[in-house]
């Protein structure tokens, strides 16, 4: 697939396991914590593999689920909680999917190691495994574990739609994430899945109200997309792959950057990354496959450190969609914890982007837009925000 096959021969199985840690998070947190030497990561991987074999689009779905969990209230599994005022019900999460995969993995883990593994960690592990499966396990990144589950859903605080690169840099910085993290997360999240014609019509016909197409879109891509998305709007729900190579539409790889450099990025913010002075150098580097697995793995690790609960904070839910009954001394209210930990986590993450567990070379998604406010969320240029089939 594209350059992957060739590079796999060159790279081989380069092992880059580095057991760094972040506070109470570390790689292999659950080793020795279950009876009979149960490896919970293997259990999660088995569930994800079975689902991936039936539906490759789970890669983009889980990437988006992971991002939406971490960007809202921190990586605490709060997006999984059911309820009328839950994060699930917020319009930006209207087309998020993958909940059933996490619930299935949690149930499988609970059968072998009850009350130990958090739902927040299962999201992180499942996402890593889906990414690795997408590239045939030619590379993978390590996942720090040790998170606890939140007790309450958070206010949805996702980047707005039609965001510029400069605005996106600030939004990510507010979460303690660097420009490099942002470029890598966008690159990985938007190298899989598809969007719909309705979200790119302005680029094709009326960019910035000029009644002309986006001048930064290549003529080849413009012709291709106009043939699929006519100006009448008759095909607004027509799917458009973010990766225009049909052989790698579900592979997390540098194709996103390569297309951006050729002015063939589907989303305007993706194209802008290739031209913005703070991001174009990294985009050009990634287009040459310069350390993509390692850099993407580091960015995913930094994202996984945002606003985490550890130690006695939060709880380990018995079921991911329901908060356990609170008993005195069992857990600390998640809201109070976030007040003290999120800013510390953000500051630390900003200074540790190069210390994340690296990739092991071995190794986003817009469902058809629902009516109402959820449509705006699907144009937001963040990780996995362009989802394949919901």
Annotated ligand binding at 196? The verdict is no
Annotated ligand binding at 87? The verdict is yes
Q: How far apart are CA 310 and CA 139, in angstroms?
A: 28
Annotated ligand binding at 190? The verdict is yes
Annotated ligand binding at 241? The verdict is no
Annotated ligand binding at 76? The verdict is yes
Largest CA distance in the chain: 66
Rounded (5°) CA angle 61-65-66: 120
Annotated ligand binding at 55? The verdict is no
Annotated ligand binding at 78? The verdict is yes
Q: Which listed residue (26, 56, 68, 276) is catalytic?
A: 68
Annotated ligand binding at 159? The verdict is yes
Instruction: Please confirm, yes or no, whether 68 is among the known catalytic residues.
Output: yes
CA distances from 346 to 46, 305, 339 (A): 33, 8, 12
Q: Cβ-count burial of 362 within 10 angstroms (0-12 exposed, 13-18 middle, 19+ buried)?
A: middle
Annotated ligand binding at 142? The verdict is no
Whether the Cβ atoms of residue 318 and residue 80 lie closer than 8 Å to each other: no
Annotated ligand binding at 270? The verdict is no
Closest CA to 183 of 69, 270, 94, 82: 270
Q: Cβ-count burial of 355 within 10 angstroms (0-12 exposed, 13-18 middle, 19+ buried)?
A: middle
Q: Which residues are annotated as a binding site for heme b?
A: 190
Q: Which residues are annotated as a binding site for Ca(2+)?
A: 69, 72, 74, 76, 78, 87, 243, 253
Q: Which residues are annotated as a binding site for substrate?
A: 159
Q: Which residues are annotated as a binding site?
A: 69, 72, 74, 76, 78, 87, 159, 190, 243, 253
| Residues labelled as active-site residues | 68
């Amino acid at each position: 697939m594209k350059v992957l096959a060739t590079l796999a021969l060159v790279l081989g199985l380069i092992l880059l396991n580095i057991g760094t840690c972040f506070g109470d998070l570390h790689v292999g947190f659950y080793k020795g914590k279950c009876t009979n030497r149960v490896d919970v990561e293997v259990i999660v991987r088995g569930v994800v593999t079975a689902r991936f074999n039936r539906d490759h689009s789970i890669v983009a779905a889980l990437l988006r689920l992971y991002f939406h969990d971490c960007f809202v209230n921190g990586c605490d599994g709060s997006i999984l909680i059911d309820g009328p005022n839950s994060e699930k019900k917020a319009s930006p999460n209207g087309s998020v999917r993958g909940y059933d995969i996490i619930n299935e993995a949690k149930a499988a883990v609970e059968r072998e190691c009850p009350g130990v593994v958090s739902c927040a960690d299962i999201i992180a592990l499942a996402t890593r495994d889906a990414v690795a499966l997408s590239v045939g396990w030619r590379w993978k990144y390590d996942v720090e574990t040790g998170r606890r589950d939140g007790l309450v859903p958070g206010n949805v605080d996702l980047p707005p739609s039609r965001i510029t690169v400069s605005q996106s840099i600030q939004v990510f910085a507010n979460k303690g994430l660097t420009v490099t993290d942002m470029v890598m997360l966008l690159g990985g999240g938007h190298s899989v899945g598809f969007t719909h014609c309705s979200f790119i019509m302005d680029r094709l016909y009326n960019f910035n109200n000029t009644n002309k197409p986006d001048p930064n879109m290549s003529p080849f891509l413009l012709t291709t997309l106009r043939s699929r998305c006519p100006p009448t709007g008759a095909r607004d729900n027509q799917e458009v792959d973010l990766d225009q190579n049909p052989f790698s539409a579900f592979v997390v790889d540098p194709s996103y950057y390569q297309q951006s450099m050729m002015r063939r990025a589907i989303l305007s913010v993706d194209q802008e990354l290739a031209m913005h002075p703070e991001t174009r150098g990294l985009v050009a580097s990634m287009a040459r496959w310069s350390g993509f697995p390692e850099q993407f793995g580091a960015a995913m690790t930094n994202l996984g450190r945002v606003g985490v609960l550890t130690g006695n904070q939060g709880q380990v839910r018995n079921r991911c969609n329901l908060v356990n009954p609170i008993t005195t001394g069992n857990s600390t209210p998640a809201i109070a914890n976030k007040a003290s930990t999120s800013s510390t986590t953000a500051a630390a993450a900003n200074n540790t982007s190069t210390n994340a567990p690296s990739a092991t070379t071995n190794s986003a998604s817009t469902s058809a837009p629902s009516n109402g406010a959820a449509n705006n969320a699907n144009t937001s240029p963040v990780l996995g925000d362009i989802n394949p089939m919901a």
